[in-house]
Structure 1
Amino acid sequence: MSFGDPNNPYGQPQGGQPGYGYPQQAPQGVPQQGYGYPQAPPVQPGYGFPGAPVEMPGGVKAARVMLWVVAAFQIIGAIIAFAGMSAVSDAVDNAGTTAADTETIENFGKGILAFVAVLALIFAGLSVALALKMKSGGNATRVCTIVYGAFICLGGIFQLPLGIVTIALGVLIIVFVAKSDGAAWFQRPRA
């Protein structure tokens, strides 16, 4: 075996085989890479470890706006339910009957509408509280918002066909808050 044989594994290395052996010098204008793994891409401000997002992500901002819209819908629904209570009384008065059963039915109808109105106001208050807490809230705010979005979807089922808008808003709130950038926003370290 001679040293000049290119197939001899024990011979002297022939010419420069790029990428074999010790690291080669990088061409001029290309930054020097370390030995082994390639260099990591630069970290965006606020999104890298151990930093945190410095600005609320767009999806979380959109979810907050949707929470305000849902609160407005809930308040409108409560107003309609309270107005329906007087409509029940007017309907019973116009019926002209004075039976005890009619009064029981009137009270039952008013009670159901009052329950729906109060429930709508509670959900509106919860929506406002979650929207206000989005800026400074932690992971518990994220979890509560996801659960609230599920309840919005469930409530929208009972309001069909107009509830389709409510269902869409609930699904979008869940998706925007559950995305990875939303999770990073809510799990960021606080000062």
Structure 2
Amino acid sequence: MSFGSPNNPYGQPQNPQNPQQGYGYPQQPPAGQPGQPGYGYPQQPPPGVPPQQGYGYPQQPGYPQQGYGYPQQPGYPGGPVPNLASMGRRFGARLIDGIIYTVVYVVLLFAGVAGSISSAQNCDPNSADYDTCINDAGSSMGAKIFAVIGILALFGLLYEWLMTGLVGATLGKMAVGIRVVKADTGQKPGLGSAFIRWIIPLVGGFLCGIGQLLVYLSPFWDKSGRQQGWHDKAASTMVVQN
């Protein structure tokens, strides 16, 4: 019984396709030929076929998934604070809106007073009903002034409420480049939040205007870092710069 031969002294079983190598040793590829892929080698795709995405390959750019490793969108809880509007811009927007209110008030008041004055001028001084005519003209002027105030309040409601809720900004805010958004989503406030945001300063205005002034100054005292006034906190809104 022989344990081997001169070419195979240890009795290693030989590979019939390559007698120089046995089954117990890894086969070496011939010179000039690449090794065969196996478990220890990355699989090579056929020519013209893109590589398959796997656990060891990075994901394709352009499709970031929102997760723990990605920053949240601005305006969302836990995300970065968006570019907040400065108090100077907010004051400028309020000033422009105040000028618009004043122009509308003056136009309406002039129209009402001019009509009452015209009625008073038509009273005949020689008539026995002259005093009655003058009194009627005065009563008409008072009624028209109250009507002007009511129309101005309605205009303020529609102007501030609808534009803030549907557009996110009044003309004054548009002029200085700021807008109102929901603090939790960054979207337009909507009619419900816009109404709450409008009614709180209006109620404060009944206290000789002091309450309204405090509401508009309240962002200075906000410690949340979002410069929210009392009306913003009640409506869950904040003012950002475009």
- Specify if TM > 0.5: no
Category of TM-score, reference length = shorter chain: 0.3 to 0.5
More strand per residue: 1 or 2? 2
Larger relative contact order, structure 1 or 2 (CA cutoff 8 Å, min sep 6)? 1
- Report the structure number with the largest CA radius of gyration: 2
More helix per residue: 1 or 2? 1
TM-score, scaled relative to structure 1: 0.40
TM-score, scaled relative to structure 2: 0.34
